[in-house]
Every structure is written in structure tokens, then in C-alpha cells.
Amino acid sequence: MKKRKEYTNSDKRKLRDFNQTDWQYRLDIAMLINQGVTIKQIADREGITYEAVRQIWNKIKNMTVQELEANLGRAISRDLD
């Protein structure tokens, strides 16, 4: 049986993904969920699918607000350079 090739993200790809991430949007979603707003309500309010909000939440739910703000700060400083 042929071995499956394992794919890993290169450092260049990871940096590109980080740079394309809207950290303010993710921080806003985290704050809304922490305030008790449901994923469905956020999806309806933002005009996006439930699944899109769920995927964003799954990526950030284990991050602290400080980590999200730090990422936002790095993204802003990158844009100013």
C-alpha cells in the first residue's frame, strides 16, 4: 500500500495565513460569544453562514483575549510598516 504524503505548512505559508487573518473580526466574534450571543445570532447579524462562525470560533476558542489582542497588535503594526 502506498504511503500517504503528509502535508505541512511552510513558514512562508503560515506567515501568509497570519497576515490574511482579520484578527479584529475574530476578537469581535469571541466577545459576542462570551456575552452570550449564539453562533446563529452572530451568523444572521453578520450575514454569513453558521458554519463560518463556528469555524472561526473553533480556531479561537482556546485563545485568551490577551492572545487575540496580541495577534491584532502584530497585524496592525505589520500594516503600518
Q: Is 61 within a domain? A: yes
38 vs 28 pLDDT, higher one: 38
Question: What Cα–Cα distance (Å) separates residue 80 from each residue in 11, 23, 52, 75?
Answer: 22, 15, 29, 9
Half-sphere exposure at residue 67, Cβ-oriented, CA atoms within 13 angstroms: 7
What mean pLDDT comes out for the span 10-16?
73
pLDDT value for 39: 95
pTM for this entry: 0.65
Give the pLDDT score at 17: 66
Residue 64 lies in a domain: yes
Inside any domain, residue 11: no
Structure-model confidence comparison of residues 81 and 46, the more confident one: 46
Q: Where are the alpha helices (DSSP H) in the chain?
A: 11-20, 23-34, 39-46, 50-60, 65-80
Contacts 24+ apart (CB under 8 A), 32-39: 33/57
Cβ atoms of 39 and 49 within 8 Å: the answer is no
For 66, the domain range is 21-80
Average pLDDT, the chain: 81
